Structure 1
């Protein structure tokens, strides 16, 4: 028979008391921690730290920061935790037709980060002395202010407004490097000719093509120009067939540019 040490209840009592004391201490620590966390939460919610402390906006070029902040009703009194990012995104998108996408992020402790995308301005519609930006979706927005000038996009003169969406769709397919080489685009009024656009380039050439094939044809432009003898200027036909027609004289070049076609 295997013998063993007998532990009496009197021997176990000190250990049981010590174990109960440790458990009681742990519960006390947990309760105190929760209590102080609640106190800190209440203090935080009542302090300026729970309000929006900083608003960072990126991606906008034409739409001002102030317009975005105003459209979102964002102030330093707005609760950081009450902001619903999806609702704010939808609200900002509806506030300005130039915005194509909006993403809102909340960054602890109190920063609102807004990332926006704008529709590209593919051209400017000229009417008298005013210029109206045309967005890539074909929408024409309010005219430029008197101190603004059309940049990084061609000017559309005597445009057929029924074809604005179509020409906008064509222009947005072109690389920016090629867009910036276009000075002006004029619509022709004759239905007896094979082209309906005269595209004047910054390097002195004129391209004759059509709205329907504008992007496809203008992509050929750099290759065609590279084959033209240096110093020569004239008309590059890029529609039914591709060929170069040199201006016969300086007066003819000026007449071609000034003519409404």
Structure 2
């Protein structure tokens, strides 16, 4: 008959004690780690390391950086983890020029505000100040705006209805042609309330109408390509298209 090895309880007690000791040590280490982690977090939240030191604004071209920071309500020295992102977003997008905003924590101590401004199709001048005109025809008269856009200067648009129509048409003009327009002047007549004159960056003047302006201007590059660049004049793009030389 095969003899079996039998281990007595007395022989196993040291092994059981050692296993229990290791388990207790691991448990103690786990609780100590949690304790020191919590202490570290409390110290961190109470220390200047968790405070906002820098506020970065990117994406703005018209609205000054300081205006956006003021609207956000963010201040250096406040806790970076206590930012109410929804409140900051709502405050900044209340500005008529701001379309959207993203609030991003950039650890350790920087908050980044990514701004998207509304589409500016031009500017109007008033009291030596330039006010942006949005694609819906709204004139933004908020103070401290900077004339950094590429939009044309819109002159003599004393009637809001025609300014809105002009803004809508400009928003549909291809970018390469839009950038050629320096100024647009509303020059209504009894027969044509929609008459406008465009002063182009290439030196030509365009006699046109607000009606279907965006579609008609698409042919402008091909028209001027057939003209002598040294002969300046008026490109008529109303009922018919022709060139009138100016001596």
State the TM bucket, normalised to the shorter chain. Answer: 0.7 to 0.9
Distance 1:210 1:191 in 2: 14
Distance 1:46 1:127, change over 3 A: closer
Match of 1:153 among 122, 137, 151: 151
CA contact (8 A) 2:55 2:113 kept: yes
Q: Please show how residues 146-225 of structure 1 align to structure 2 within 5 Å.
A: 152-159=150-157, 160-193=159-192, 196-225=195-224
Distance 1:137 1:161 in 2: 11
- Return 11-20 or 112-121, whichever deviates more: 112-121
Deviation at 1:59, TM superposition (A): 0.8
Distance 1:194 1:43, change over 3 A: closer
Aligned counterpart, 1:109: 108
Distance 1:130 1:46, change over 3 A: closer
Aligned counterpart, 1:81: 81
Distance 2:228 2:9 in 1: 112
CA contact (8 A) 1:126 1:158 kept: no
Distance 1:39 1:235, change over 3 A: same
TM-score w.r.t. length of structure 2: 0.88
Structure 1 runs not aligned, ≥5 long: 251-261
Distance 2:220 2:182 in 1: 14
CA contact (8 A) 1:133 1:143 kept: no
Secondary structure in structure 2 of the residue aligned to 1:103: strand
CA contact (8 A) 2:71 2:92 kept: yes
Structure 2 runs not aligned, ≥5 long: none
Distance 2:18 2:73 in 1: 59
Question: 2:27 matched to 1:27?
Answer: yes
Cα deviation per residue 1:157-206 (whole Å; 9 max; x = unaligned)? 22132122221122223344423322221222214249622212232322
User: Aligned pair count?
Assistant: 245
TM-score w.r.t. length of structure 1: 0.83
Deviation at 1:52, TM superposition (A): 1.1
Deviation at 1:101, TM superposition (A): 1.4
Distance 2:13 2:33 in 1: 30
Aligned counterpart, 2:140: 141
